């Protein structure tokens, strides 16, 4: 958590800096070899709370700015009337020039670029980072900068400097977009080799654990760019998996074709979209409690929650060959911001080879949602599925997409280090251009559908590039998934002796607000003398007394009920069900109350219904249809008259105070 004194200083500096916002003193477009001049207000210099950003480690901006030249890019739409974001860039060479592929993104996202000359890899790290940071101070005075959109970037060794600068100033730098290089606050395990054996990065500054916790208190995002043949790709994978993922930093690796530092416009756009867009927590569930920590409850069959785990237990002996859990908190992913989804899953025992399916399904209609059990919609609706299955000696994964009646197996692979006996972490980065699936274990062998699908060099992440399929026409249309999607975990058994499936630590984050899915109407119970009446319109009703099933069928009325507590589970025509309120029956007290307190007449009635009480105390009444809809309500003392002539002929339910419900016939 950020200290109050730091926040106060941060806010005051923001206010002071914002006063200097103005139109560009250098025009727009590309500006080369520009001296920015010295600071006008030295009070904006901000000492770091982490690392070596203070105590004189960085050179004084007054010693840097008067003589250092910078390359700048100012979007052509900038006029100073609104704040623009800022990227401070540290190159690996002595040329601070912008990458031409990135200019369209700077224009579309209103980002100003500044990069110092002569701070390449041959220079001291204090000078390199200090110059990049001094540029931020001065650009804040010269331009109208959005202080919530200050990013650091760099290339190769400069990328390492830019990433470290973000750790030193987490209060200011809200994200990084480094290319072909990165860094982490501490040493990380070296699981993924670079092109040159034992050529891994050494940590630049070894931050204290307390400092790492302080950095994590800020919502920074790290969009790391690399390429398939980048000889530093392994270093970035080590930082991502053994640093960001383990510690809980918000990062993403974005790959493209080419050698060290290769990039494209789309490559940079994906990185910027990741660090810029807000994320909404759609569903967060450790399955410790009956309800998720964030999000709404599930529709499920054969699924139980206990002890920090959801267990899917299909029972083919009872006719239930599948078990599933599906969210009612939906999300939208087919856009530039997308969705991040993760969960742990596995089998609870060693027997059987029944599949595990983690799916993202289009919410096309209530009926399609209800019918879907994770297996019967493949090839019918739009779906994305990660399937896990095992034989006697090997464990496998398949990645499947379905649309318009066609099912494509995009990837299949055999694990080298997972036998299914322990939970497997599966994480999706899903957006309109790409689906990246990261597995917690590695593959020994694999096959892909086409060249736009690739098992990356870490042997655990699969990159599926939607936008490059079908001759760059894309796999999905922009209108696909427009109504949103939902997550579903499912399994299917052929033998009751086979192992069940476990699911835990489910998390869904999206760049858009959630979509609530409610495919089944509410059901309520009202009492009519010795009968119970549930909301009409459902296909099946399961009545329970004190938790035990006592009746099942299409009738919404349970007659001649005995004393106890009743509930009903109502199922619609598409097999979605919902529970009711509970009603407790106790005849003795209710009969004495009803006999002494009130009467109603005439019954049958055609015009007006009179309700009369035998005392002079205040009472309330409510008149319902048999489907549970409230038609009239009011209060009275001794007597009242309720007009009912406008009601259609039929049976109605009258409830006085909290007493027994009386059946009223309208002629």
Identify the CATH number of the domain in which residue 263 sits: 3.40.50.1820
For residues 294-313, give the mean pLDDT: 90
Neighbouring C-alpha atoms within 13 Å toward the C-beta of 277: 21
Q: What angle do CA 121, 123, 126 make, to 5 degrees?
A: 110
Query: What does 353-379 look like in DSSP terms, one character per residue?
Result: ---EEEEEEE---HHHHHH--SSTTTT
pTM, to two decimals: 0.79
What residues does 222 pair with on adjacent strands? 176, 251
Q: What angle do CA 192, 198, 200 make, to 5 degrees?
A: 65
If one counts the domains in the chain, the total is 4
Which pLDDT score, from 0 to 100, does residue 222 have? Answer: 98
Q: What is the C-alpha separation between 169 and 209, in angstroms, rounded?
A: 16
Q: What is the C-alpha separation between 574 and 159, in angstroms, rounded?
A: 54
What pLDDT, in 10s, does the model give residues 606-627? 999 999 887 777 888 999 887 7
Give me the helix-helix angle, 125-142 and 157-168, nearest 10°: 60
What pLDDT, in 10s, does the model give residues 483-522? 899 999 999 877 766 778 999 999 999 987 778 888 877 7
What pLDDT, in 10s, does the model give residues 161-192? 999 999 999 999 999 999 999 999 999 998 99
Which pLDDT score, from 0 to 100, does residue 2 have? Answer: 31
What pLDDT, in 10s, does the model give residues 78-120? 999 999 999 999 999 988 878 999 999 999 999 999 999 999 9
Q: Do 411 and 443 share a structural domain?
A: yes
Residue 75 near residue 45 (C-beta atoms within 8 A): no
Q: Do 285 and 161 share a structural domain?
A: no
User: Which tokens belong to 73?
Assistant: 């890019």
Q: What is the C-alpha separation between 454 and 447, in angstroms, rounded?
A: 9
What residues contact 320, with CB distance under 8 A and at least 6 apart?
301, 302, 314
What residues contact 377, with CB distance under 8 A and at least 6 apart?
361, 368, 371, 383, 402
Q: Do 421 and 530 share a structural domain?
A: no
Q: Do 406 and 312 share a structural domain?
A: yes
Residue 559 has pLDDT above 60, yes or no: yes
What residues does 515 pair with on adjacent strands? 330
Which pLDDT score, from 0 to 100, does residue 589 have? Answer: 46
Residue 14 has pLDDT above 60, yes or no: no
Q: Do 655 and 532 share a structural domain?
A: no
Q: Do 105 and 159 share a structural domain?
A: yes
Residue 15 has pLDDT above 70, yes or no: no
Q: What is the C-alpha separation between 382 and 484, in angstroms, rounded?
A: 11
Q: Do 489 and 576 share a structural domain?
A: no
Q: What is the C-alpha separation between 655 and 657, in angstroms, rounded?
A: 6
Q: Do 397 and 298 share a structural domain?
A: yes
Q: Do 391 and 500 share a structural domain?
A: yes
What pLDDT, in 10s, does the model give residues 116-168? 999 999 999 999 999 999 999 999 999 999 999 999 999 999 999 999 999 99
Domain boundary among 276, 294, 315: 276
Domain extent, residue 561, equals 525-585
Which pLDDT score, from 0 to 100, does residue 194 have? Answer: 65
For residues 356-365, give the mean pLDDT: 92
What pLDDT, in 10s, does the model give residues 568-606? 988 888 778 888 888 888 765 444 444 456 788 898 999
What residues does 601 pair with on adjacent strands? 610
User: Which tokens belong to 557?
Assistant: 């009325």
Per the model's pLDDT, the better-predicted residue between 376 and 96 turns out to be 96
Q: What angle do CA 146, 147, 152 make, to 5 degrees?
A: 100
User: Which tokens belong to 337?
Assistant: 């911001």
Domain boundary among 249, 276, 303: 276
Q: What is the C-alpha separation between 374 and 368, in angstroms, rounded?
A: 11
For residues 234-250, give the mean pLDDT: 95
What residues contact 473, with CB distance under 8 A and at least 6 apart?
none
What pLDDT, in 10s, does the model give residues 440-491? 999 999 999 999 999 999 999 999 999 999 888 899 998 899 989 999 999 9
Residue 513 CA, chain-centre distance (Å), reads 9
Q: Do 496 and 367 share a structural domain?
A: yes
What residues contact 404, with CB distance under 8 A and at least 6 apart?
none
Domain boundary among 260, 276, 292: 276
Q: What angle do CA 32, 179, 477 make, to 5 degrees?
A: 105
Q: What is the C-alpha separation between 359 and 374, in angstroms, rounded?
A: 7
Which pLDDT score, from 0 to 100, does residue 49 have? Answer: 82
Q: What is the C-alpha separation between 579 and 82, in angstroms, rounded?
A: 52
Q: Do 453 and 313 share a structural domain?
A: yes
Highest mean pLDDT among 49-58, 200-209, 502-511: 502-511
Q: Do 294 and 243 share a structural domain?
A: no
Which pLDDT score, from 0 to 100, does residue 587 have? Answer: 65
């Amino acid at each position: 958590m950020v200290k109050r004194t730091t926040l106060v200083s941060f806010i005051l500096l923001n206010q002071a800096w914002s006063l200097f916002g103005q139109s560009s003193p250098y025009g727009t477009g590309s500006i080369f070899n520009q001296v920015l001049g010295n600071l006008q207000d030295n009070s904006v210099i901000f000492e770091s709370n982490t690392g070596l950003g203070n105590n004189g480690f960085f050179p004084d901006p007054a010693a840097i700015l008067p003589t250092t030249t910078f390359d700048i890019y100012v979007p052509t739409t900038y006029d100073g009337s609104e704040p623009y974001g800022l990227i401070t860039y540290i190159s690996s060479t002595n040329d601070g020039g912008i990458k031409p592929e990135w200019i369209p993104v700077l224009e579309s996202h209103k980002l100003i670029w500044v990069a110092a000359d002569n701070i390449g890899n041959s220079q001291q790290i204090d000078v390199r980072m200090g110059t990049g940071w001094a540029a931020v101070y001065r650009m804040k005075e010269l331009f109208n900068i959005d202080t919530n959109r200050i990013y650091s970037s760099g290339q190769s060794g400069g990328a390492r400097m830019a990433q470290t600068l973000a750790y030193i100033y987490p209060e200011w730098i809200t994200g990084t977009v480094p290319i072909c290089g990165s860094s982490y606050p501490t040493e990380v395990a070296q699981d993924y080799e670079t092109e040159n054996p034992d050529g891994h990065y050494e940590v630049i500054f070894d931050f204290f654990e307390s400092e790492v916790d302080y950095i994590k208190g800020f919502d920074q995002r790290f969009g790391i760019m690399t390429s398939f043949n980048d000889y530093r790709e392994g270093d970035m994978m080590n930082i991502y998996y053994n640093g960001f993922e383990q510690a809980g930093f918000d990062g993403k690796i974005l790959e493209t074709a080419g050698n060290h530092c290769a990039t494209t416009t789309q490559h940079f756009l994906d990185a910027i979209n990741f660090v810029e867009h807000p994320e909404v927590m759609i569903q967060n569930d450790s399955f410790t409690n009956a309800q998720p920590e964030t999000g709404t409850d599930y529709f499920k069959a054969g699924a139980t929650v206990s002890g920090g785990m959801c267990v899917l237990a299909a029972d083919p002996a009872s006719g239930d060959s599948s078990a599933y859990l599906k969210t009612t908190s939906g999300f939208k992913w087919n856009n530039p911001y997308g969705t991040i989804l993760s969960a742990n899953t596995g089998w609870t025992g060693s027997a059987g080879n029944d599949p595990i399916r983690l799916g993202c399904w289009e919410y096309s209609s209530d009926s399609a949602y209800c019918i879907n059990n994770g297996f019967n919609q493949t090839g019918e609706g739009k779906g994305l599925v990660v399937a896990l299955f095992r034989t006697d000696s090997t464990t496998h994964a398949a990645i499947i997409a379905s649309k318009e009646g066609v099912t494509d197996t995009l990837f299949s692979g055999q694990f080298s280090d997972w036998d299914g006996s322990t939970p497997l972490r599966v994480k999706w980065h899903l957006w309109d251009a790409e689906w990246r699936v990261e597995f917690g274990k590695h593959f020994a062998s694999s096959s892909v559908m086409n060249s736009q699908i690739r098992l990356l060099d870490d042997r655990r992440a699969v990159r599926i590039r939607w936008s490059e399929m079908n001759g760059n026409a894309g796999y999905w249309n922009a209108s696909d998934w427009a109504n949103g999607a939902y997550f579903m975990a499912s399994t299917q058994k052929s033998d009751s002796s086979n192992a069940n499936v476990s699911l835990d630590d489910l998390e869904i984050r999206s760049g858009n607000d959630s979509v609530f899915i409610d495919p089944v109407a509410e059901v309520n119970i009202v009492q009519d003398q010795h009968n119970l009446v549930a909301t009409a319109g459902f296909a099946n009703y399961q009545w329970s007394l004190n938790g035990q099933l006592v009746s099942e069928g299409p009738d919404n009325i349970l007659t001649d009920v005995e004393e106890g507590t009743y509930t009903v589970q109502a199922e619609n025509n598409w097999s979605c069900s919902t529970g009711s309120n509970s009603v407790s029956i106790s005849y003795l007290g209710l009969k004495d109350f009803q006999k002494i307190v009130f009467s109603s007449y005439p019954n049958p009635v055609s015009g007006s219904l009179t309700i009369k009480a035998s005392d002079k105390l205040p009472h309330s009444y409510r008149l319902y249809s048999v489907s549970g809809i409230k038609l009239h309500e009011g209060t009275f003392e001794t007597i009242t008259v309720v007009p009912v002539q406008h009601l259609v002929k039929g049976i109605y339910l009258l409830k006085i105070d909290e007493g027994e419900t009386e059946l009223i016939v309208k002629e």
